[in-house]
Chain A
Amino acid sequence: MITGLAWLLGFQLIGEFVSELFDLPVPGPVIGMLLCFCWLRFRRTGDDAPIVRAAGQMLKHLQLFFVPAGVGVVVYLSLIGHHAVPIVLALVVSWTLGLVVVGWTATLLERAFGKPRDDLPSHGRGAA
């Protein structure tokens, strides 16, 4: 676990360094993720590697790490209340359009290139 964690931290730090060095608007962890992906491909890392196990453990609880920033909503409740209409509409409209545009574009282009589709097994897929 600690070995894997050290790898993840290492990639994040390299990412932070690159981001700071070139004054990029992209945060360190995102650059770290891309570098880590290249490294894993290059090394053909197997499923039993420490980094794979550590990553699995962390990702299982990804939602925990968002909680502190999310609680910040209490500070802005009154501001959000005053501007509820623009905030709710902008969030909902832009989220829905973004979701549909990405989903449709990817599916259509994939079909246009004649690549095999990768559908979910349709059974058991309700509105849930």
Chain B
Amino acid sequence: MNNPLDTLHDVLASPIGLVGVTVGAYQCGRWLQRRSGGHALVQPTLVAIVIVGVVLEVLGVRYADYADAATLVSIWLGPATVALAVPLHRQAHRLTGFVVPMLTAVVLGAVVSITTAALVAHATGADVRLQKTLATKSSTTPVAIAVAQHLGGIPALAAVFAIVIGVVGAVLGPAVLDLVGVHDRRARGLAIGAVSHGIGASRMLREDETEGAFAGLSMGLTALAISALVPLLALWLW
């Protein structure tokens, strides 16, 4: 008989084992979320990232190997992004009379988040590569990666920033919107989707379908705006 601990290690560190760890950690996050009565801080993504990070450290698995195995999970981000069209379709009657405010707000929001991220990073002494990486952060992960690559930032780090800011949005977004007096459901969804993409949208979807639908739409529009605006703004920012 082999050593049970070594065998357990081998099973967990295998590709399917790592997928199992990811899904298990996410389930853990959902369970904690229910147990905490839906506390804003207990976002399943956040819980799962912490658990998986610790498990990888314990197993001694390199992130590159984990990322390869976990493609089985991350690849579904694509169809799930397409799926955001559905809540929007169901809420399409609410678009009437909101198209101009929506487009103006999203474009303005993209300009503000790109420039303030770059300028604040510059003012606090970050190098140009880091500034460029930070500038992409409010777009959804695949866009952040693509734009950072195109611009000469650090693509993998751009993905990390996008996820971090998504989690921040899921945790704090609704509370900040209450604080600054934005109560309109469409405007709330739009604001969250514009700065915290899919992770923000998933929190909003759980609370209210209108907010969720507009967050999804705003995520898509922001992705378009950021891919178009970053190369333009780059001309005078750097």
The answer to whether A and B belong to the same complex is: yes
A12 to B59, CA, bound (A): 35
Chain B, 156-174, CB within 8 A of any chain A CB = 156-157, 159-161, 163-170, 173
Q: Which residues from B are CB-within-8-Å of A108?
A: 101
B195 in contact with A98 (CB, 8 Å): yes
Give the Cβ gap from A65 to chain B, nearest Cβ, in Å.
Answer: 4
B81 in contact with A101 (CB, 8 Å): no
A103 CB–B CB distance under 8 Å: yes
Q: Which residues from A are CB-within-8-Å of B196?
A: 95
B237 CB–A CB distance under 8 Å: no
- CB < 8 Å neighbour of A54 from B83, B104, B208: B83
A33 in contact with B173 (CB, 8 Å): no
Q: Which residues from B are CB-within-8-Å of A94?
A: 112-114, 116-117, 120, 134, 137-138
A-contact 0/1 string along B175-213, CB 8 Å cutoff: 111111011111110111011101101100100101000
Q: Which residues from B are CB-within-8-Å of A109?
A: 100-101, 104-105
Q: Which residues from B are CB-within-8-Å of A32?
A: 78, 81-82
Q: Tell me whether A118 and B186 are in contact in the complex, defined as CB-CB below 8 angstroms, given that A90-B117, A128-B175 are known contacts.
A: yes
Chain A, 100-128, CB within 8 A of any chain B CB = 100-110, 113, 115, 117-120, 122, 125, 127-128
B116 in contact with A125 (CB, 8 Å): no
- CB < 8 Å neighbour of A86 from B45, B130, B137: B130
A109 to B156, CA, bound (A): 37
A105 to B227, CA, bound (A): 21
Give the Cβ gap from B50 to chain A, nearest Cβ, in Å.
Answer: 9
- CB < 8 Å neighbour of B156 from A12, A75, A91: A75
Q: Which residues from A are CB-within-8-Å of B118?
A: 90
Give the Cβ gap from B80 to chain A, nearest Cβ, in Å.
Answer: 5
Q: Which residues from A are CB-within-8-Å of B147?
A: 25
Q: Which B residues are closer than 8 A to A by beta carbons?
A: 22-23, 25-26, 29, 40, 43-45, 48-49, 52-53, 56-57, 63, 66-67, 70-71, 73-74, 76-90, 92, 94, 97-98, 100-102, 104-106, 108-110, 112-114, 116-118, 120-121, 124-126, 130-131, 134, 137-138, 140-143, 146-147, 150, 156-157, 159-161, 163-170, 173, 175-180, 182-188, 190-192, 194-196, 198-199, 201-202, 205, 208, 210, 216, 218, 220, 223-224, 227-228, 231
Q: List 27 A-B contacts (CB under 8 A).
A: A8-B83, A12-B78, A29-B142, A33-B82, A33-B216, A52-B90, A63-B44, A64-B76, A67-B49, A67-B52, A69-B159, A69-B163, A70-B48, A71-B49, A71-B66, A87-B161, A90-B121, A92-B168, A94-B113, A96-B176, A98-B109, A102-B190, A102-B218, A103-B187, A106-B102, A107-B184, A110-B184
